[in-house]
Amino acid sequence: MPSHRPRAAASTAARQLSTRIERRTAHLSIVGLGYVGLPLAVEFGKAGFKVTGIDTDEKRVRELQRGVSYIPDVPTADVQELVRSGRLEATTDFAVLRKADAVNICVPTPLSKQRDPDVSFIVAATEQLAKHVHKGMLVILESTTYPGTTEELILPRLQETGLTVGRDFFLAFSPERVDPGNPRFNTKNIPKVVGGVTPTCTEMAVQLYRQRLERVVPVSSPQVAEMV
């Protein structure tokens, strides 16, 4: 498999993050532990990463702390093993993001009365994230939403911290493509489309997904039209 580490001209933050991802020493965090977030957390944990899941639902957090899965597609045995080994933990405290190298936002976006995605959960997650974003952090939005959400809602708020996207932190969108109950395609092997705010952002996100997922297509690839 070809290397997807950033080019030599990449920032120090990008090179350091790339090394942690490649060595699987990066600490990952998943915001939202529903039918998208929990399977993703489990797959990254099975790949060898330490994963901290964040959810505002205290019941979900307690179940995971006990090693119990509440998602049909995620076996409790897998959760138990990851919790026992220390590769998966859950909390309601967003302060753990201070130590996270990569954050996947997997919060719900229910349809509004106008049939548009309700992005209030994304906005709330972004507000929490902005308190703890730091140099070298990769942020990936997975929640189903309309085009422009990443650059119009998340990016401006994170840049208010004084950090520069593509140099200090990295931001990308990779829409969830979960099909619950599908025996053939699951979180591990379903094709992913990834688009970063900058080329380096794309490289960072692709590198992370390649640690677990079998097929990842950057948005600059001519294959994207076929994928969508």
- CATH code for the domain of 191: 3.40.50.720
Mean pLDDT lowest among 42-56, 69-83, 87-101, 208-222: 208-222
Model pLDDT, residue 38? 96
- How does DSSP classify residue 26? P
Residue 173 pLDDT exceeds 80: yes
Element holding 171 (H helix, E strand): strand 170-173
Asked, for residue 169, whether it belongs to a domain, the answer is yes
Distance CA 190, CA 186 (A): 6
CA atoms within 13 A on the CB side of 111: 4
Structure confidence at residue 8 as a pLDDT band (50, 70, 90): very low
User: Token pair for residue 107?
Assistant: 């919060």
Lowest mean pLDDT among 26-40, 85-99, 100-114: 100-114
Residue identified by tokens 């994928």 is 227
Domain count of the chain?
1
Q: What is the pLDDT of residue 215?
A: 42
Q: State the pLDDT at residue 81.
A: 96
**Do the domain assignments include residue 5?**
no
CB 153 within 8 A of CB 189: no
210 part of a folded domain: yes
- Tell me the C-alpha distance between 144 and 176, whole Å: 7
Which helix (H) or strand (E) covers residue 157, if one does? helix 155-159
Phi first, then psi, for residue 53 (nearest 5°) are -95, 140
Which residues, including other chains, have CB under 8 Å from residue 52's CB and lie 6 or more apart?
27, 28, 29, 30, 89, 90, 91, 96, 100
Residue 2 lies in a domain: no
**Is residue 1 situated within a structural domain?**
no
Tokens of 138: 């990769």
Count of beta carbons in the 10 Å neighbourhood of residue 29: 25
Query: Does any domain span residue 134?
Result: yes
Instruction: Tell me, yes or no, whether 53 lies in a domain.
Output: yes
Query: Domain range for residue 122?
Result: 12-227
| pLDDT given for residue 184 in this prediction | 66
Residues 6+ apart with CB under 8 A from 68: 76, 79, 80
In-domain check, residue 48: yes
Nearest 5°: the CA angle 115, 119, 122 is 155
Least confident segment among 101-110, 123-132, 215-224: 215-224
